[in-house]
């Protein structure tokens, strides 16, 4: 079966599942919403249409990152959490940061959790922009724990074809017809878009692209990457220029930068050779498990977004056991500092 046919079937199944999960049990106090979907057995399904002041969503992946965010909110007299609700087990905190309405939540780790919780947030709350922060493994070996990267583009590194070896040609693989055609098109596509990956395989793993569908598209489109919102990237540049020096465990000054590429996959990347391959194919600076999914959901919903990643380790670069657990809380603190500096930059822009 052709990939396009398969993906249409998969999209239909996923879409039905999302619709079935989309009913909320609690209405946020700070926004008025109108149910646009039908009721079934007393439960409302489908997205909502909102009236009221939209939120800036402050989003992380998991506990140590959330600790840094909540610590900053608690310590700031100009910030507060005013309400807390739970949908499908996910905690959403509503409040203000220097008079800006904010919605704070954790997606959970990995692609499926990130996509699910982001879409729930867009269905249940009025959100105008997303500022996501989390830790990541470095792909580029020049980065050290505590450095912070705000990539412009996010790619899936494990959207791929797993192919059988070709018994007639040593080192070659038997590729599906659609994928062989896809590879043949890449030279012409790269002349138009220099940010396309430099596609080559990692053993039997052959990188592919995700197909997306959204309003305005008649058919799904191959999508190599998702680009963060330029306005929010500019705010990140402004924030970094005005921030005080960030020290890591009192030992070194953190490097803070905006630009380049990040890669996302449903794996904890802890293999040196695979990390090098992601650098060669995607020109990646960092690797983690949520950002491309966040970017995809924001893109489909036409919501502005940017993602801040604090380096916790060199993915697979160490000898022995990975050191991510040593630095996660410390680098999450620095990442949170960058996130709130971005919010301050946005407030200056709006003022």
CB of 61 closer than 8 Å to CB of 69? no
Q: Which of 314, 317, 300, 265 is nearest to 123 (CA)?
A: 300
pLDDT in tens, 56-79: 999 998 877 888 889 889 889 999
Residue 43: pLDDT band by 50, 70, 90 thresholds? Answer: low
Q: Both tokens of residue 120?
A: 């729930």
Q: Does residue 320 register a pLDDT over 70?
A: no
The DSSP letter of residue 169 is S
Pick the closest to residue 92 from 73, 117, 114 (CA basis): 117
> Average pLDDT of the chain?
82
The pLDDT, as a whole number, for residue 15 is: 43
Place of tokens 């800036």: 56
* 103-154 pLDDT, tens digit each: 999 998 899 999 999 999 998 899 999 999 988 888 998 988 889 999 999 9
Contacts of 57 (CB under 8 A, 6+ apart): 102, 103, 104, 105, 121, 125, 127, 129, 130, 131
Q: What is the maximal distance between C-alpha atoms in the chain?
A: 70
In the predicted structure, residue 234 carries a pLDDT above the cut 70: yes
Return d(Cα 14, Cα 225) in angstroms, integer: 21
SS3 of 81, please? strand
DSSP label at residue 152: S
The helix/strand/coil state of 199 is coil
What DSSP element (H or E) covers 14? helix 3-21
pTM score, whole prediction = 0.82
- Cα gap 131→133, rounded to integer Å: 7
Which range is least confidently modeled, 146-150, 278-282, 312-316, 342-346?
312-316
66 CB burial (10 A radius; 0-12, 13-18, 19+): buried
pLDDT at 211 over 70: yes
The model's pLDDT over 89-110, given as tens digits with 9 standing for 90+, comes to 899 999 999 999 999 999 988 9
Whole-number Å distance between alpha carbons of 252 and 245: 10
């Amino acid at each position: 079966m052709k990939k396009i046919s398969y993906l249409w079937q998969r999209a239909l199944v996923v879409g039905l599942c999302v619709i079935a999960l989309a009913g909320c049990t609690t209405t946020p106090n700070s926004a008025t919403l109108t149910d646009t979907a039908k009721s079934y057995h007393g439960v409302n399904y489908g997205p909502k249409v909102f009236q009221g002041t939209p939120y800036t969503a402050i989003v992380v992946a998991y506990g140590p990152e959330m600790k840094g965010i909540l610590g900053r909110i608690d310590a700031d007299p100009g910030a507060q959490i005013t309400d807390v609700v739970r949908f499908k087990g996910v905690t959403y905190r509503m409040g203000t940061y220097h008079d800006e309405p904010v919605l704070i939540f954790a997606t959970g780790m990995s692609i499926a959790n990130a996509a699910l919780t982001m879409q729930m947030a867009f269905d249940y709350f009025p959100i105008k922009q997303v500022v996501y922060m989390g830790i990541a493994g470095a792909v580029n070996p020049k980065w050290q724990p505590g450095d912070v990267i705000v990539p412009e583009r996010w790619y899936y590194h494990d959207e791929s074809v797993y192919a059988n070896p070709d018994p007639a040609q040593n080192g070659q693989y038997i590729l599906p017809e659609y994928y062989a055609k896809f590879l043949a098109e890449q030279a012409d596509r790269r002349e138009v878009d220099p940010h396309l990956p430099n596609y080559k395989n990692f053993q039997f793993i052959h990188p592919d692209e995700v197909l997306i569908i959204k309003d305005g598209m008649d058919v799904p489109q191959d999508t190599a990457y998702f680009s963060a919102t330029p306005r929010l990237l500019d705010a990140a540049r402004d924030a970094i220029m005005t921030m005080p020096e960030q020290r890591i465990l009192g030992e070194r000054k953190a490097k803070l930068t905006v630009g380049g590429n990040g890669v996302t996959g449903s794996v904890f990347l802890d293999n040196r050779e695979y990390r090098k391959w992601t650098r060669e194919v995607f020109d990646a600076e960092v690797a983690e498990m949520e950002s491309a999914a966040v970017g995809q959901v924001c893109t489909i919903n036409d919501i502005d977004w940017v993602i801040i990643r604090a380096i916790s380790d060199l993915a697979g670069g160490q000898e022995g056991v990975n050191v991510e657990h040593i630095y996660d809380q410390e680098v999450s603190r620095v990442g949170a500092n960058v996130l709130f500096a971005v919010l301050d930059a946005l407030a200056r822009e709006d003022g």
